[in-house]
Structure 1
Amino acid sequence: MSVQISGVFKDGAGKPVQGCTIQLNAKKTSPTVVVEVISSTVTDANGHYSIEAEPGYYSVSLMREGFPPSVAGDIYVAPTDAPDTLNAFLDAPKDADLRPGVMKRFEEMVNRVVDLSGATEKDRERAEQAAQSAEQSKDSAALSATAAAESQKQAARSADAADVSARSADDNARQTAQDVLACAADADSAAKSAQTATEQAGQAKIAADTVQKAQEEAGVSAQSAAGSAGSAAAAAQTAGEHAGNAAASEISARESALTATQAAEQGDNSAAAAVLSEQHAREYSEKAAKSEAAASASAESASSSDASALQSAEKAEKQKNAAAESVTRAEQARDEALTSRNEAVEAAETAATDAAEKAAGKVSEQLKAAVADDTQRAEAAMAGAESAAVASQGYRDEARDIAESLKPGDASTTQKGLVQLSSDDDSDSEAYAATPKAVKKVKDLANQKAPLDSPDLTGTPTAPTPPLSVSNKQIANTEYVQAAVAALVGSSPEALDTLAELAQALGNDPNFATTMLNALAGKQPLNEILTSLSGLSTSGSKLPFFSSKNTLMLTDLTTTGRGLIAKNSINEIITYLGLVETINLAAGAVPSTRRVNEKALTDDIYITSQDIFNGQVLMIGADQNLDNFQTPGLYAQDMNVNTSTALNYPENNAGSLMVLRSAGVTQIYRVYNSSRSYTRSKHSTQAWTPWVPDDSFPVGAPIPWPSDTTPQGYALMQGQPFDKAAYPLLAIAYPSGVIPDMRGQTIKGKPNGRAALSYEQDGVISHTHGASASSTDLGTKTTSSFDYGTKTSNTTGDHNHNRGTMEITGTLGYFRSDNSSFYTASGTFTLGGSTAAKSFTGSNFTYGVPVNFNASRTWSGVTNTTGNHAHSVAIGAHAHSIAIGSHGHSVTVNATGNAENTVKNIAFNYIVRLA
C-alpha cells in the first residue's frame, strides 16, 4: 500500500519553490520496488508536491534549473506510515541509525507510559461502573426486603386459596358423580321409550336432536351431558328400526302413542337435565380454572417466597422447599382427579357407541353396565379428590404454619427475625426496611454473581445490603456496617439507656455504688465530637467529616468509598481500585528526574537527528581498510593522510562513512567539505562492487562526458552489447541488451506515436525557394556619334513624264436677295473673295458675297528630260536613342551547405552508468 508524501516545498525565506524536481531513488529492493528505480515529481507554481511512495528505502535528490543537483538525504517509507511531508520523512530517525541505549530505553518507557495511561483509564471506568453497580445494589436491597415481606403475605394467601381450591374440587367431584347417575337414569328411560316409539319416531328424533344440541353447548367440560346425548342417539336409532315395523302392528302403534308422549316428556326432562348438567359442568370448569389459577399463583408466591427466604435465612429455605412440595402434591392430586374424570367420560362414550350397534333389547343392560362402570370410576375419582383435598388441607396448614413463622415484625436491633418492608423513601420510622423494588434489582444482580457455595470473586465484588435485623452468614458490606454503627449510636437516646440501667441497678441492689460505677464504665463519655454527631440527622450512605470551619457535616458515601473504607491494607485498596498492574508497570518506569540529551522527561520531548547522532560517530583511524567496516553505524576519517585507494577509499580525502546492512552491506562515503559522495555494496561472499559516485542520473540515462577516459562504473555508448545478468538495472532501460550508439547523434524529445529508442535519419523539412531580380528602369541611352561622310547614288534612272491638255471653264455670277435674281459675269476675272457683307446707303442696299469659281482643265504633252544623273546625300554625324524599359531577369540559386544538418556544437562522449 502506497504512502502519500505531500506538502509545500519552501526555501529559507519561506517562499514556495516552483519547478523543482524531487526524485526518489530506491536504495534497496523491496516487495514492490526494484533497487535504483527512480520516481520523480515537480513542484507547481505554489511549490506543492505530491508523491505516492511505495514502502522502501529511498535517496531523495533535488534538481532545480540553474542549480546543481543535490542529495537531500535518505528516507524510509513503512507500510504503516501515515501521510506526511517530505520534511517529516527526512527528519524521522531511520531503522539503520545507530541509536544510544538511552534512546531505546526512552522509547520503551514512552510506550509503557502510553499503555499505563490506557490501563489507568480502563481502571477508572471499571471503578465508576462498580460504584454505579453498588448504588443499584443498595436500591435493590431495599426493594428485596419489601418483596420478602410481601412474599410471606402472599404465601399465607396462597395457602388459603389452596384450601378453597381443594374444597371446590371435592364438591365438583361429588357433583360429577351425581351428574353421571342422572345421565344413567336418562339413558334407561330413553331405552324404554325407544322400544315402544313406533309412530312417534319423529318426536323422539327431535328430542334426540335437542339432547345433541345441549351436549354440543355443554362443551368439553360437560362430559356427563355427552353420555346423555349418546344415549339419546342410540334411542333414536332404535326408534328408526322399530318405525319400519309400524305398518305391521297397528295395535302396537296405538299402545305406543301414549308411551311416545311420555317419552317426549321424558326427552324434555332429559334435555332439561342436560342443560342443568351443562350448567354444573360450566360451574365446575370455572371453579377448576379458578383452582388452577390459585394453584399457579400459589406456586409463583411460593417461588417468590423461596427467593426471599433464601436471602433471609436457612430456615426459610427449608420451609420454602416444603411449601413447593405441598404445591406439587396438590397439583398432582388435581391432575389425578382430572385424569379420572376424563377416563370416565371416555368410557361412557365408548359404552354408548357400542350399545348403539347392538340390538335395542340389550341397550338398557349395556348402558346400565357402562353407567355403573362410570359411576365406579367417578366414585373412585371423587375418593381421590377427597384424598387430595385432605392432603391439600394438610399442605395448607403446613404452609400456614410456615407463613406464621415467617410473619414479619418491627425492625429492631435487639432481636432476630424478619422485618416489614416499606416503599417510602422519606420515612424516619425504624419499624420498616427496604422496598420490594430493591429485592428484584438485587435478585437480578445476584444472578450475575458467583454462587454462594463456591464464590470466586474477581474484579470489584459487590454484595447486597441485608437488613440490620438479619443474623446469619450473609456477607456484610460497608453499607451494612455503616448502618449498623448508625443504628447502634442513634437507635435510642443515651439518657434513656442510662436511666434504664440505673433503674435496674436500683432494684434491691445492696452494691448500688459499685453497680452504678460498673454500668457507667461501659458508657462512652460525652465530648465535643459525640455532641456534634448527635446533632446530625440520620441518613443512609452518609459519612461525617469536619469542614474548614471545624463543623461536623455529612457527605455522600458512595459505593466506592464504602469499598475503600472496608479494606484492611494498602494492598487491598490497590487491588480494589484495579491498580496492581499499573503499579507493577510503574515500578520499572524511568524516574522523571532522568533526562534525554539534557531534555527533562517532565514535558514532551522532540528528538532531532542531531540528538540521535550527536557523539555517536566512531573514528576510523589510520591504516584501516574500509573493506573491514561492515557493522552498521556512522564512521569518520578526519585525516587525508589516512586515506588511499590501497585502503579502498574512493579518493584520497577525509570524509564520513555510513554503513547500512540488509541482505548485504552498503557503504556510503561522503567527502569532507564537498558534496561528493560514493556508494558501493557487497552481498554474501561476493566481492565489493566498485565505488560509484552518487549523482542524479538514473541507470540508463545518457550522460555527456567531456573526456575519452570513461569513469569507473560507466561505459561509452557506442552500440556495444552488455551482460544483462551483470547489469540488471541497465537491462530494464535497454531490454535488447545493446547500448545505443550515440556517436554523432543528438537526443530528441519523443513525440506522440513514436517508440522510445527509435532511430530517425537526418533531413530537412520539405520546402520551396522563390527567387526574383529587382525591376530597374535604365532610362534612355544614346549611342556614340559617328560621321559617315558624303555618299553618292548611282547614275541610272533616266525617265520622262507625259503631260496632258488642261482646259479651265467656269461661270462667275452673284445672287441678289432683294429680287431673287442670279447675275452672271463674263470676261477675265481673278480668283478671290471676301467675307459676306451687307449695308444700306439711303434707299440702296449693298450686298457683297464671295465669288464661287468652278473650273476644270485638261493637260496634254510630255515633260522635259535631264538624263541620267547622280544625287549627293550628306548623312552627317548623328546618334540613335535606344529605349530599354522596365523588365525582369530569371535567377538560378546555386546549392550550398555541409554534408549533414548540424548546428554549432561541442563534442562530448555519451556514457551510461553500469548497474
Structure 2
Amino acid sequence: MPVLISGVLKDGTGTPVQNCTIQLKACRTSTTVIVNTVASENPDEAGRYSMDVESGQYSVILLVEGFPPSHAGIITVYEDSQPGTLNDFLMAPGESDLSPEIVRQLEELAKAARDSANAAVGSATASAASAEDAAKSAGAAGGEAGAAKVSADASAESAAASASSAAIAGEEAKAAKVSETNAKSSEATAAQSASVAEEAKTAAASSASAALTGAGQAAASAMAAEKSAESASSSAATATNGATEAARQAVAAKTSETNAKSSETAAASSASSAASSASSALASKDEATRQTLAAAGSAATASTRATEAADSAAASVDSAADAAKSASDAGNAAAEAQKYRDEAKEFADHLDVKDASTFQKGIVQLSNATDSDSEEEAATPKAIKALAEQYQNMITGAVVPAGIPFPWPTDTPQTGWAIMQGQTFDKTKYPQLAIAYPSGVIPDMRGWTIKGKPASGRAVLSQELDGIKSHTHTASTKAADLGTKATTSFDYGSKQTGSFDYGNKSTNTTGGHAHPLGVNNASGQRNPDALSGNATMVNTTLYTGQAGDHAHTVYIGAHDHWVGIGAHTHNLVIGAHGHAVSVDATGNAENTVRNIVFNYIVRLA
C-alpha cells in the first residue's frame, strides 16, 4: 500500500526551493517496484510536493536547473510507515546507522517477540475455546437446574395430592402430611438448588464474557507483541488472568454440580417419601398412586439431567485444565520474552551511553548548522548537503575557472556549461565569465584550434586565417639521350612552284678561247684531233689564234617549275637536353593535422 510523502522543499534560510525535481531511484527490487526505476515529482512554485510512494528503498536525487544533480540520501519506505515529509524519511535511522552487534541483538529480540506472539495467540485461542466450553457447561447446568425445578413442581403436586388423600383417608392423612412436609422441604431444597444453579449460570456467563474479553486482549497483545516484547508479556499476563478466571468459573461450575447432586438427592428422598405416602394412600385414592409414579419419573429425569450436568462439569474442568496449560505456556512465552527484554535492557544499561565528545563515544545532538564550531553536535545530512554544494561550487570555481575552453565529446553540454559558438551572454548573470570575455560574447570555437600567444605580433583572442610559411621548391627532369629516330615515309607527289618573271639576263664576256691543231711528226705519228689524213707532220703542236670573246642576252620570262617530291624519310637527331617543368596544385581546403572533433564548452558562472 503506497505511503504519502508530502511537504515543502526549503533551503537553509527557510525559502521554498523552486525549479527543483525530486527523483526517487529504486535501490532494490520489492514486491511492487523494480530496481533502478526512477520516479519524479516536480514541486510547485511554493516548493510543495506530494508523492504516493510504494514500499521499498530509494535513492533521493534533487535536480535544480543550473546545478549538477545532488544526492540527498537513502530512504526506506515500509508498508506500515506513517505519512511524513521527505525530511522525516531522510532523517529516519537506517540499517547502516546501527552497529552489527546491535542489529544482531535486535534481530534476536524480534525473533523472540514473534515466538512469544505466536505462543500468546495460541494461548488466546485456547482461552477462547475454554471460555466457550465453560459457557456451554454453564448453560447445561442452567438446564439441569430447570429440570430440577420441574421435578420440584411435580413433587409439590404430589404433595398436594397426598394432602387430599390424607384428608380423605384419615390415618393416612398424617402420613400424607408428613409426605407433604417432606415434599415442601424438597421443593425448598430444589428451589435453593435452582437458585444456586442460576447463580452458577450467571457466574459462568460472566466467566465466559471475561474469558472472551481476555481472549480479545490476548489477540491484540499478540499483534503488538511482534513489535514489542513488553507488549507480549502484558498480553501473556492478560491471558493468564483470563485462564485463572476460567479455572475459577470451572470451580463454580463444579460447585453447581455438587448443588445439583444435592438437589437430586433431596428430590430422590422426596420421591421416596411421596412413594411411601402413595402406597399408604393407595387404598384411598388411585390418583395419589399416579402422582407418586409421576414424581418418581420426575426424580429419575432429574437424576439423569444431574448426571449429564456432572459430565458437562467434568468436561468444563478438563477445558479449564487445558486453559490453565495454555495460560502456563503463554506465561512461559511471556517469561521468555521478559528474559529477552531484560537482556536487552541489561545490554542497553551496559552500553553506558554518554554524550559523545572528541575523546569518548556516546550520543550526539544533530544540528543543521553549517558554520558551527561545536565539538558536541553532529551535522545532519541536510547540513552536509549544503556544505557539499557550497564547497563543490568553490572547488569547481578554483579548478575550472569560468572562461576556460574544455573539449566535450557530445553535442549536449552538462548543466551549467555552454558550447562556444559565438553567442552573447548576460554579463550580470555570469560575472566571472564577463571577466574572461568583457565583450559579453563567447568566442566561436567551431572549426578553430587554440594557439599559444607568441611573444609579439598577436593579441589575446585575435584570429588568424589559414596560411603556410613562405618557402621555395626546386624541380628538374632526368637527362636522357634519345638517339637518332626515323620519321615515317610519305609521298608528297609533284608540286608546282609559284610563277615569277626573271626579265632579261646577260651572260658574262668570258667566252674567248683557242683551239689546238695537231700535225704529224717526223716519226709518222699523227694527231687524230687535227688531221683527217695520214700526212706526215713535224713533231709539234700548233694553235689557232684566240678569238670569240662575247656575251649573250638571255630572256627568261615568267614561268614556274614542277618539282617531284617523292616518298622519302628524314633522320632527326635529338640530343641530350632539358625541359621546363610545371607543378600542379594539390592538398585539402585548409591546413590540418590528424584530428578528432570535439565541442569546446565553457563553464557559466
Give the alignment's TM-score, normalised by structure 1: 0.22
Give the alignment's TM-score, normalised by structure 2: 0.32
